[in-house]
């Protein structure tokens, strides 16, 4: 897989990133079936497989329970990885809490650095509670992240947004990257992807497979790109649909199933080859 640059930061990411919520949390998630957290050996093997497959991007967050802690303990050679984490949301005792203050942001970044056993973070995103505009315009979190980027503790900043307005506003306020929801049955945030392509900013796509609810995805009626053949394979169709958008830097896939990971990488390589990427 050919790596893609996040904005003009020099950060190069694989077209697929490994989402690690399932490494640390199985409460209050929206997946269609229950799952057990993988043991340490399973996490090590999945990380090793990801690197063997060419994946270098890890998506984590304080809201992912034990994810940051387990990555810090179990990943080898930190410099092989682009680590993207978040600030603003925590998850404790089965419930989320939010803090977008400067003090809370600093504390969250310092804790992530400690847990991940690193002296810098590649990307830090604001974990939105849904009120994107208020967070970006009235809270101190963005100014704090801009300062941390200037100081070199964070290489790139952005928001995991919930609205089109929030994603566009983030770019207007000098964010490098936005994590947007986009799939064949949810296309509302397409303007954010298009803005990223026009402005040379980064886009990380979340919920590409509708959090595992593939059977509920309404696939596009037409092929999104002339070089892509139609397919009845729901995962392939979703990946085709997303990668046909030029603004996409990487799709974050949260899986703990090695077979699914291999299949997703094979399909992605096939699609990107068809697109000439």
The pLDDT score that the predictor gives to residue 221 is 43
Domain boundaries of the chain, sorted by first residue: 4-274
**Cβ distance 15 to 196 under 8 Å?**
no
Question: Residue-wise over 178-206: b if at least 16 C-beta within 10 A, else e?
Answer: bbbbbbbeeeebeebbebbeeeebbbbbb
The pLDDT score that the predictor gives to residue 214 is 60
Residue 135: helix, strand or coil by DSSP? helix
Q: Measuring CA to CA, which residue among 176, 79, 84 is closest to residue 122?
A: 84
Residue 115 bridge partners (DSSP): none
Q: What is the pLDDT along the chain (277 residues), one digit of tens a residue?
A: 899 999 999 999 999 999 999 999 988 787 777 889 999 999 999 999 999 999 999 999 999 999 999 999 999 999 999 999 999 999 988 889 999 999 999 999 999 999 999 999 999 999 999 999 999 999 999 999 999 999 999 999 999 999 999 999 999 999 999 999 999 999 999 999 999 999 999 999 999 998 655 655 555 444 556 677 788 889 999 999 999 999 999 999 999 999 999 999 999 999 999 998 8
The whole-model pTM stands at: 0.94
The pLDDT score that the predictor gives to residue 210 is 81
Question: Residue-wise over 215-254: b if at least 16 C-beta within 10 A, else e?
Answer: eebebbeeeeeeebeebeeebbbbbbbbbbbebbbbbbbb
The terminus-to-terminus CA distance of the chain in angstroms comes to: 9
Q: Domain 4-274 is in which class?
A: alpha beta
The pLDDT score that the predictor gives to residue 222 is 45
Cα separation, 83 vs 276, in Å, equals 27
């Amino acid at each position: 897989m050919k790596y893609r640059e996040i904005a003009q930061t020099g950060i190069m990411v694989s077209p697929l990133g490994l989402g690690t919520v399932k490494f640390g949390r199985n409460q209050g998630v929206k997946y269609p079936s229950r799952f057990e957290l993988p043991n340490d050996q399973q996490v090590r093997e999945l990380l090793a497989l990801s690197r063997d497959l060419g994946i270098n991007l890890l998506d984590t967050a304080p809201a992912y329970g034990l994810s940051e802690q387990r990555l810090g303990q179990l990943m080898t050679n930190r410099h092989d990885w682009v680590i993207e984490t978040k600030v603003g949301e925590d998850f404790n005792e089965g419930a989320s809490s939010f803090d977008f203050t400067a003090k809370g942001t600093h504390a969250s970044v310092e804790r992530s650095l400690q847990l991940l056993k690193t002296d810098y973070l590649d990307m830090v995103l604001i974990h939105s509670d849904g009120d994107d505009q208020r967070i970006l315009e009235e809270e101190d979190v963005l100014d704090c992240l801009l300062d941390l980027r200037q100081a070199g503790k964070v290489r790139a900043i952005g928001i995991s947004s919930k609205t089109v307005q929030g994603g566009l506003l983030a770019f207007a306020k000098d964010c490098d990257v936005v994590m947007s929801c986009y799939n064949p049955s949810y296309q509302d945030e397409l303007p954010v992807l298009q803005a990223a392509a026009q402005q040379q900013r980064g886009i990380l796509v979340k919920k590409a497979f509708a959090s595992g609810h593939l059977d509920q995805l309404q696939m596009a009626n037409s092929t999104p790109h002339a070089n892509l053949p139609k397919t009845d394979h729901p995962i392939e169709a979703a990946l085709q649909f997303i990668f046909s958008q030029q603004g996409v830097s990487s799709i974050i896939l949260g899986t703990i199933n090695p077979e699914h990971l291999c299949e997703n990488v094979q399909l992605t390589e096939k699609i990107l080859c068809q697109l000439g990427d």
